[in-house]
Amino acid sequence: MYLVGKKTLLHTSLDVANEYKEIAEKDLKAAQLLMSNGLYNEAYYYYIQSMEKNIKKRICEIIDVTNPFFANQMRDIGHSLDDAIEFLLRLISGNNEVMYQQIKKQIVETVLKEIRFSSVHNNVRYPYFNRHKKEYIYLNITYDDCIEIQKMEKNLKVYLEELYRIQ
């Protein structure tokens, strides 16, 4: 049996956060390279991936994801940027619904322009079937779309750094 890669053990939540940071930076670099080569759908996908890892990095800095309870919650987030944002919002705001709504408005509306990334994530990579129209659709990303998500990725990183002030 051929074993792929070399495992790196991550012992603490901060180790996991640092790994997410490195992966996010690599995803960002991949997005930039793909975009510069006209591979806009692929670039867009990697911008989403970078944002997801930056959110997860922030989560790992707040809670101990090596705790089995939180590890299961992280697993349940999967690769969903939307679910990762929701989890982060709940962590930061706790039971304060006003704070939750305010931070959600800032992240979802202002920074991420109300894009439902759960849909976009797969639609930039695969044709999807629209049951209402009874046809397949493929989402073609443009250069301008990549410029917009590039801005979102930068603004999200800045916003996540500012969230340290709330804690």
> Can you tell me whether residue 64 is helix, strand or coil?
coil
Per DSSP (E only), the strands in the chain are: 128-130, 135-137
The per-residue pLDDT for 163 is: 80
The pLDDT value given to residue 166 = 59
Q: Which amino acid is at 131?
A: R
pLDDT of the residue at 154: 97
Considering just the CA atoms, what is the radius of gyration of the chain in Å?
17
CA–CA distance from 129 to each of 48, 82, 116 (Å)?
22, 22, 17
pLDDT in tens, the chain (167 residues): 998 999 999 999 999 999 999 999 999 999 999 999 999 999 999 999 999 999 999 999 999 999 999 999 999 999 999 999 999 999 999 999 999 999 999 999 999 999 999 889 889 999 999 999 999 999 999 999 999 999 999 999 999 998 866 55
- In sequence order, the 6+-apart residues with CB closer than 8 A to the CB of 87 are 59, 73, 77
Half-sphere exposure of 71 (CA within 13 A, CB side): 8
pTM of the model: 0.94
Dist. CA 17–CA 39, nearest whole Å: 29
